[in-house]
Chain A
Amino acid sequence: MSDIHANSVAFVRTEEVPTAPPPSNAAGPAKWIKDNLFATPLNGLLTLVALYFIYAILSSALPWILGGIWNAPSLSACRDILDGASAACFAVLTERWNQLLFGFQYPDDQYWRPGLAFILLFIAAAPVLFFDLPRKLLAFTALYPFIAYYLLWGGTIFVPILALVGVAGGFMVYQRLVAGSFAAGFFGGIAAAFAIWYIGGLLIPDNASENAALSAVPSRYMGGFMLNMMLGVTCVSLSVPIGIALALGRQSSMPLIKWICVIFIEFIRGVPLITLLFVANVMLAYFFPPGSGVDLFLRVVIMITMFSAAYIAEVIRGGLAALPKGQYEAADSLGLDYAQAMRLIILPQALKISIPGIVNVAVGLFKDTTLVSVISMFDMIGMIRGPILASTEWNGVYWELFGFAALLFFVVCYGISQYSQWLERRLATDHR
């Protein structure tokens, strides 16, 4: 039997054949390269061109960067060290590090103050940016503006405390009156805050700043990357509420208010930021009471805030328009009045849709803060183009400085836009 069986079936396999590896050009890196780089002749050509391009850039840039000199007191000393070789003089960065970050007038023994304010900024921003964090952290966020103000400007501690008390007082009045009507609460709150500030302002003694724990630093002394950060953060956070108000105003059924908002938004969006900065610099002074002397920083903050508010208003308008009409009708049918409908139903949804757009505006605005260098403010670019390049020591260093500035801005802006993309994925609640 066994013979028969042995004859009828020549061979019976008792174990599985081991899986043979795929041919070498159909697996592993080789396949990847073939599929992704040399799929077609044209594709292969593109790859070669791209490779050459990368080589050309790296071969000239890398030696320049790697051979850089990090320690020299001046450009001529750096050139002596290099002795004819072509390499970077990064020494300008180390030598002028503080100037690049803080401007040239901020007192050097006080650098820890902006540093601390910068670190606290992350703690304050965290609960706003990441919804999973405990909501109690928002209390710190609310306090942050006053802390940061005190840290950066110093002077008497009464000013931020008074400002805080004013805001708190206004908020309490709002809480009390809002049950009756939103408008009454809102305007009542503002009036209360102003009343507290006005009375408090009279109480603060004139010379309070002189022996303050943190010495007062005038805003003219702010400079460098710190100034860019300050302008960016202040103007974006101020312009979000104004932008919401403008967007709602633009949708309003009241013709007068609607037209005021439309004209404002279209006007601001129609002119370049640089002309608005010219206005801040050369014109705005004529519109303040004679002798009031509002400082340049505040004037620039006003103009940039107006600028970004107009853009944010348009983003939010897009968000409002994207909401289905049913949401508005649902709110009405519940018997909510306008303020309630907006606060409880419409805005939370519209803002959620608008967040990526708002972040885009914020990134654009942060980049645009460099324009203040054109109107004689010493932000990072202003420092480079002004005091540093004009100095006898560092006259003639361009690439190192601009490269560093570009890198710094890239890190910040790229970080924010990555966050925005993460948030977009996070907030996507639509069905897929």
Chain B
Amino acid sequence: MKKSVILGALTIAGLSAGAAAAGTLDDVKARGKLNCGVTTGLVGFAAPDANGEWKGFDVAVCRAVAAAVLNDPNAVEFVPTTGKTRFTALASGEIDMLARNTTWTFSRDVDLKFTFTGVNYYDGQGFMVPKALGVSSAKDLDGATVCIQTGTTTELNLADFFRANNISYEPVPIETNAEGQQQYLAGACDTYTTDASGLASTRATFENPGDHVLLPEIISKEPLGPLVRHGDDEWGDVVRWTLNALVTAEELGVTSTNINEMAASTENPEVARLLGTEGTLGEMLGLDADWAKRAIAAGGNYGEVFAKNIGEETPIGLARGLNAQWTNGGLIYSPPFR
């Protein structure tokens, strides 16, 4: 934000209109800051901490991209967006990329003209119920009152699920997670539904987490990932391969602590290509050779980011599950660096 508000006003007046549609990559480099859209606050994924610093799983992706492109993981301007505003913010160029647990769907990709650059978290919509209710399956929820956090694909999944099972329910749409929790704990709804990761992180903050269970059904596929505007493929490639670099680093055992030794002494040609000691991958991407090294050093590889923000050691306590490396039976799989 070098441009002051007054100069900004002059910009509107058309006096210095311009900024021809150069590529986003050049824009970001010229600006020296990456504008990254995140959620307004979901602990573990993106939320400001007590010191006002953004922390979380999605935030780490933004920082990795900033490190790769700008050589500074802190050169990120986090733009909080709601479910309503995120797509406009991206489409209008207010943000360069959106890392806001956004589900990759056909219509968003095709109709709204966005490019999803991969999946950083495989999620699915689940249900949380109080243990006392004695419900063991989502199919037992006939006639239940369901609190839904609006703004994602949850409403649609919920409608589909209950319709497919021919059972009825009463939806109570809720704006923020905190309010959903208040309603749920007061018994104003029988069950609370949102992405299973969100449920886990919500339950972790309860006074008595043990009194509540997550039902086994996962009623939807929610591949969450960062996205960019359609049509700017160079920039899309940068974001996609930064994410892939984090994944590949975990697969190859490159961590933020051993990355320098690895770079200096590796025998593995793929590690060498990844870390830029061999080949010209960075150049092809429009960056320098060390781009992936910086991205990994910023917050660690995929596994480290996961463990630090939402892993089992954290209050959120999510198991890797589907988000384990493919070598461990999960879905996290990066195309090769070659």
A binds B: yes
**Chain A residues engaging chain B, CB cutoff 8 angstroms:** 76, 79, 95-96, 99, 103-106, 108, 149, 153, 155-156, 159, 162-163, 194, 197-198, 201, 206-207, 209, 216, 218-220, 278, 281-283, 285-286, 288-298, 375-376, 378, 382, 385-387, 389-393, 395-396, 398
Cβ contacts under 8 Å, A76 to chain B: 207
Cβ contacts under 8 Å, A155 to chain B: 2, 4
Using known A-B contacts A104-B52, A105-B48, determine if residue A285 contacts B41 with beta carbons closer than 8 Å. Answer: no
Q: Which residue of B lies closest to A96 (CB)?
A: B50
* Residue in A219, A288, A292, A382 whose Cβ sees the most chain B Cβ within 10 Å: A292
The one of B14, B81, B205 in contact with A395, judged by C-beta atoms closer than 8 angstroms, is B205
Query: In the complex the two chains form, is A298's CB within 8 Å of B9's CB?
Result: yes
Query: In the complex the two chains form, is B1's CB within 8 Å of A396's CB?
Result: no
Query: In the complex the two chains form, is A290's CB within 8 Å of B21's CB?
Result: yes
Cβ contacts under 8 Å, A288 to chain B: 12
Query: In the complex the two chains form, is B88's CB within 8 Å of A285's CB?
Result: yes
Q: Which residue of A lies closest to B16 (CB)?
A: A201
A198 to B47, CA, bound (A): 40
List 16 A–B pairs whose Cβ atoms lie within 8 Å, in order of A's numbering.
Answer: A108-B51, A197-B10, A198-B10, A201-B10, A218-B77, A220-B79, A281-B84, A285-B92, A285-B94, A291-B21, A291-B93, A298-B8, A390-B43, A391-B49, A396-B205, A398-B182
Using known A-B contacts A198-B15, A294-B12, A390-B43, determine if residue A286 contacts B5 with beta carbons closer than 8 Å. Answer: no
The one of B2, B48, B50, B82 in contact with A375, judged by C-beta atoms closer than 8 angstroms, is B82
Q: Is B181 an interface residue (CB 8 A)?
A: yes
A378 to B15, CA, bound (A): 31
Query: In the complex the two chains form, is A390's CB within 8 Å of B47's CB?
Result: yes
- In angstroms, how far is the closest chain B Cβ from the Cβ of A139? 21
Q: Is B176 an interface residue (CB 8 A)?
A: yes
A295 to B21, CA, bound (A): 19
Query: In the complex the two chains form, is B17's CB within 8 Å of A392's CB?
Result: no
* 10 extra A-B contacts, CB within 8 A, seeds A159-B6, A194-B15, A290-B19: A201-B10, A281-B85, A283-B88, A286-B88, A291-B18, A298-B9, A376-B40, A396-B185, A396-B205, A398-B182
B window 1-52: CB within 8 A of A: 1-2, 4-21, 27, 40-43, 47-52
Using known A-B contacts A153-B4, A218-B77, A289-B17, determine if residue A282 contacts B84 with beta carbons closer than 8 Å. Answer: yes
Query: In the complex the two chains form, is B11's CB within 8 Å of A294's CB?
Result: yes
A66 to B8, CA, bound (A): 49
Query: In the complex the two chains form, is B40's CB within 8 Å of A219's CB?
Result: no
A159 to B8, CA, bound (A): 11
Q: Is B177 an interface residue (CB 8 A)?
A: yes
Query: In the complex the two chains form, is B77's CB within 8 Å of A220's CB?
Result: yes
Q: Is B178 an interface residue (CB 8 A)?
A: yes
Q: Is B179 an interface residue (CB 8 A)?
A: yes
Q: Which residue of A lies closest to B4 (CB)?
A: A159
Using known A-B contacts A219-B1, A282-B88, A293-B93, determine if residue A376 contacts B8 with beta carbons closer than 8 Å. Answer: no
- How many A-B residue pairs lie within 8 Å, measured between CB atoms? 147
- In angstroms, how far is the closest chain B Cβ from the Cβ of A221? 9
- In angstroms, how far is the closest chain A Cβ from the Cβ of B95? 10
The one of A99, A219, A291 in contact with B52, judged by C-beta atoms closer than 8 angstroms, is A99
Using known A-B contacts A163-B6, A282-B84, determine if residue A389 contacts B178 with beta carbons closer than 8 Å. Answer: yes
- In angstroms, how far is the closest chain B Cβ from the Cβ of A97? 12
A398 to B19, CA, bound (A): 45
**Chain B residues engaging chain A, CB cutoff 8 angstroms:** 1-2, 4-21, 27, 40-43, 47-52, 77, 79-82, 84-85, 88-89, 92-94, 175-179, 181-182, 185, 204-205, 207, 315
Query: In the complex the two chains form, is A376's CB within 8 Å of B88's CB?
Result: no
- In angstroms, how far is the closest chain B Cβ from the Cβ of A167? 11
A206 to B1, CA, bound (A): 11
Cβ contacts under 8 Å, B11 to chain A: 289, 292, 294
A340 to B120, CA, bound (A): 67
Q: Which residue of A lies closest to B205 (CB)?
A: A395
A391 to B5, CA, bound (A): 32
Query: In the complex the two chains form, is B2's CB within 8 Å of A209's CB?
Result: yes
Query: In the complex the two chains form, is B178's CB within 8 Å of A395's CB?
Result: yes
A387 to B20, CA, bound (A): 36
Cβ contacts under 8 Å, B80 to chain A: 376, 378, 386
The one of B13, B20, B21, B179 in contact with A385, judged by C-beta atoms closer than 8 angstroms, is B179
A292 to B94, CA, bound (A): 9
Cβ contacts under 8 Å, A376 to chain B: 40, 80-82, 85
Cβ contacts under 8 Å, A393 to chain B: 50
A293 to B24, CA, bound (A): 13
Query: In the complex the two chains form, is A386's CB within 8 Å of B8's CB?
Result: no
- Among all A-B residue pairs, the 6 with the closest Cβ atoms: A285-B92, A218-B1, A389-B178, A104-B52, A291-B19, A390-B41
Query: In the complex the two chains form, is A390's CB within 8 Å of B1's CB?
Result: no
A65 to B175, CA, bound (A): 29
A209 to B3, CA, bound (A): 9
Query: In the complex the two chains form, is A105's CB within 8 Å of B205's CB?
Result: no
A285 to B1, CA, bound (A): 17
A386 to B182, CA, bound (A): 14
Cβ contacts under 8 Å, B204 to chain A: 392
Cβ contacts under 8 Å, A293 to chain B: 93-94
Using known A-B contacts A105-B52, A392-B43, determine if residue A292 contacts B19 with beta carbons closer than 8 Å. Answer: yes
A293 to B17, CA, bound (A): 10
Cβ contacts under 8 Å, A198 to chain B: 10, 15
A378 to B176, CA, bound (A): 14
Using known A-B contacts A99-B52, A219-B1, A285-B92, determine if residue A79 contacts B207 with beta carbons closer than 8 Å. Answer: yes
Cβ contacts under 8 Å, A209 to chain B: 2, 4
* Residue in B5, B20, B21 whose Cβ sees the most chain A Cβ within 10 Å: B5
A396 to B205, CA, bound (A): 9
Query: In the complex the two chains form, is A386's CB within 8 Å of B41's CB?
Result: yes
Cβ contacts under 8 Å, B6 to chain A: 149, 159, 162-163, 197
Query: In the complex the two chains form, is B7's CB within 8 Å of A386's CB?
Result: no
The one of A153, A162, A285 in contact with B5, judged by C-beta atoms closer than 8 angstroms, is A153
A201 to B94, CA, bound (A): 23
Cβ contacts under 8 Å, A291 to chain B: 18-21, 27, 93
A398 to B183, CA, bound (A): 12
